[in-house]
Amino acid sequence: MTSVAARTDASFQEVELHGHTVGYQSMGDGPLLILLHGITSTSDAWRDVMPRLAERYTVIAPDLLGHGRSAKPKGDYSLGAFAAGVRDLLAVLGFERGTVVGHSLGGGIAMQFSYLFPEYVERMALISSGGLGREVHPLLRAAALPGSEWVLPLLAREWSVSAGDAVRNVAAKLGLTAGPDLAEFARGYASLVEEGATEAFLDTLRSVIGPEGQKVSALDRLYLADQIPTLFIWGDSDPVIPVEHGRRAHEIVAHSRYVEIEGSGHWPMLDAPDRIVQELTEFMEETEPFQWSLETVRDRLRRGPQPAPEAIAAGTT
């Protein structure tokens, strides 16, 4: 595998892709880990786990287009476009294959990336991932409603300048408690005051979420992930995406690993960074990289999804 020069300290760099600036953090040396953040977030969401992961691995964490320090152009913010952007970033940096780790929206992108570009994927880890069920936090459903583009800038300014008590009162009504969930929600919504950020957020959000909840689902194709070493990690107190989504996905993907972190919310890598580092490291060290072949994929598509073992045992198939 060719790569950019090894680094011992996290560094933020920029590249030009299709005429747009894409920023990313890079750290470490060794097998490649690609860390994909969630909506309104940035590569800084991985700040507590990157240094330790970089002791063993090369870690690349981009600011996805429309987020953070990357460009916020008008354009395509679908999961497919994000997945293609990740592919293009890896190509420009000289990486051929790696393990993709996605949080929230980043989990949906990771699944789309693995589906569209399996030759780039050695393993897949999904943390509090979107795309595995319909339910999602009411605040995100409300943001998908027509007219929210007029309200969001006001909300963003409120989150960015309000005193702590005012923010906590609003958050309590939304089911958010003090800690990483509240802090990251506040950080994300405050970022929408940046030029072009609200438009990019809404384009991204509305591509995956509607007033009734998540409208993009990977469940019908998730069975294909049983070819790839797959890890699901969820906080059992996630207020944004229910933990039941992770449990059900684990049932669908044969041989997948499932980790549920007690007391953790939507950002386990901030709630329990030591546990996340441990689980990702064990996952990397104890599984063999997926080897893509067209023949294997063709055979799996022809066979289609297989009934779960419990369904066979119960005689329900």
Catalytic residues: 104, 238, 266
The tally of CA atoms less than 13 A away on the side-chain side of residue 256 is 27
The strand order across the sheet containing 20-28 reads 7-17, 20-28, 58-62, 32-36, 98-103, 121-127, 230-235, 257-261
Q: Which long-range contacts (CB under 8 A, 24 or more apart) does 4-12 make?
A: 4/93, 4/94, 6/58, 8/54, 10/50, 10/51, 10/54, 12/43, 12/69
DSSP letters of the chain?
---SPPEEEEEEEEEEETTEEEEEEEEE-SSEEEEE--TT--GGGGTTTHHHHTTTSEEEEE--TTSTTS---SS--SHHHHHHHHHHHHHHHT---EEEEEETHHHHHHHHHHHH-GGGEEEEEEES-SSS-S---HHHHHHTSTTHHHHHHHHHHHHHHS-HHHHHHHHHHTT--TTHHHHHHHHHHHGGGSTTHHHHHHHHHHHHEETTEE----TTTGGGGGGS-EEEEEETT-SSS-HHHHHHHHHHSTT-EEEEETT--S-HHHH-HHHHHHHHHHHHHHSPPP---HHHHHHHHHH-----HHHHHHT--
